Amino acid sequence: MPFIPHTELDVQEMLETIGVSSIEDLFDEIPAQLRAGELKKVPDALSEMEMMRRMRERAAQDEGALCFIGAGAYEHHIPAAVWDVATRGEFMTAYTPYQAEASQGTLQLIYEYQSMMASLMAMDVSNASLYDGASGLAEAVLMAVRANRKSKSRKILVPGAVHPMYRSALASIVESQNIELVEVPWSDAQGTTGLDALSAFEGQDITAVVIAQPNFFGQLEDVNALTDWAHQQKALAIALVNPMAMAVLEAPGNWGENGADIAVGDGQPLGVPMASGGPYYGFMCCTNAIVRQMPGRLIGRTVDLDGKPGYALTLQAREQHIRRSKATSNICTNQGLAVTASTIYMSLVGPDGLANVAGQSYKNTQALVELLCSIDGVERQYSGHSFHECVIKLPAKASLVLEKLAEREILGGFDLGRVDASLENAMLVCVTETKSDADLALYQSALIDVLKEIQG
């Protein structure tokens, strides 16, 4: 889609129309100390030809290598039909496809998406998406503060085993709104959040507890115990989950005695390519009891006077045109298109197909971990169960090992020393259904060579 900027003449005519002489005068209400001035790190503009060449070069850097990174973005096979359908003109439009007033087709698609996500999470309702998983978590925390009116503390317990980038985005969005985020340490042995770590908060006024499944290290938390603990403290339970994992693990709506109150995460594993980091979308589900605090909009199915089915905007309690001062929503056109792809993906593969993908990913991960841990000096960092990611402890710095693997066109994992200095010899490895036995054997062979090279 070409971008056509305004000409100098266009700009001058608009400025004259509103009665100012320059762009600087247009923004004179912004204090000088808040203006960024010249953006020295932003490169000069490129021509269309130069830009296309630059993008092709960048895209080529993502090709050809075996990827085992994960850490929030997951390589799954996407049937060709998914994006062939999603990019049809009816779906891929310059008009924001998340606008629920657009057409019956858009309304039905969102309705089908919401129905499938609510079923996958075993929750009552789903909205039509958020910006991404990290900002979705922030929206879930804001929602919990609004919904749990008996809690006055605005205190949220966030395990340290939650994705560090999610925690960073969460802090950026909610800490300025007088919400206190308290980090709960993880177990050095299992890499999970135990009840013993939460015991220090028993009896306190806690607004909500975030529970990740799997957590950032790929480890499976005892979600039933954590959810019940949260409810015993009169706090809401916010489930932060990988939607693909929910095809084989217990869904948030079934956690503990009463289920989680909010389920949130990133929808990228469901038919959205990694695409160098986006666009992705966040999903959110909740119980009926707190649905009016949910951001975004809900689509319902009805019938007209002739009994024919139709779809209609049913609830949008937090949208800007309903409650401007209380609105909270962060979706846009890209997220609408990604949701379209996920809806097509889920309808094509079905519940059994999702379970097959998740099961094969788990099986491949266990196979790779076994191969890697057969190498002298390599072992699992944590005990307990994991899904399709696992922390591997190395006899050398992970950053150096990963650099050497990359030279062999293997993107071997995520260097955990980037987020915690005590884990500089550990890497997070992810395997999905896209990897074959030959791929796993190649990785093992390459790691043996790399460790020999490093250790002399």
Choice between 95 and 49, residue whose per-residue pLDDT is larger: 49
Residue for token pair 């990228």: 268
Element (H, E) at 158: strand 155-159
- Lookup: tokens for 137: 């978590």
* Residue from 200, 246, 203 nearest 223 by CA: 246
pTM: 0.90
Helical segments of 304-428, H only: 333-372, 398-407
Helix, strand or coil, per DSSP, at residue 16: helix
Tokens read off for 38: 């010249």
Distance CA 160, CA 26 (A): 45
pLDDT tens string 201-235: 999 999 999 999 999 999 999 999 999 999 999 99
Residue 152 has pLDDT above 90, yes or no: yes
Structure tokens at 144: 């919990």
Determine the 3-state secondary structure of 284 from DSSP.
Answer: strand
Strand partners, 217: none
Peptide bond into 273 cis (omega under 30): no
| Averaged pLDDT score across all residues of the chain | 92
- Amino acid, res. 56: R
Helix (H, G, I), strand (E, B) or coil at 382: coil
Token pair in block for residue 15: 């400025």
pLDDT of residue 96: 60
Element (H, E) at 327: none
In DSSP notation, 221-282 reads P-HHHHHHHHHHTTPEEEEEE-TTGGGTSPPGGGSTTT--SEEEEE-TTTT---GGG----E
CA distance 391 to 313: 44
Q: Which two tokens stand for residue 41?
A: 């790190």
Residue 415 pairs with which residues in a beta bridge? 427
pLDDT score, position 3: 59
User: 371-382, pLDDT tens digit by residue?
Assistant: 999 999 999 999
> Given a cut of 60, is residue 30 above it in pLDDT?
yes
> Nearest-CA neighbor of 431 among 76, 65, 62?
76
Burial group, residue 306, by CB count within 10 angstroms (0-12, 13-18, 19+): exposed
Q: What are the DSSP calls for 332-344, one per residue?
A: -HHHHHHHHHHHH
**Stretch 273-297: mean pLDDT, rounded?**
92
Lowest mean pLDDT among 99-108, 109-118, 201-210, 244-253: 99-108
Amino acid at 203: G
pLDDT, mean of residues 14-41: 88
Distances (CA, A) of 398 to 65, 189, 217, 392, 418: 18, 19, 15, 9, 10
Q: Give the mean model confidence (pLDDT) for residues 418-445.
A: 97
Residue 1, pLDDT > 80, answer: no
* More confident: 278 or 294: 294
Its sign, for the CA torsion 14, 38, 170, 270, is: positive
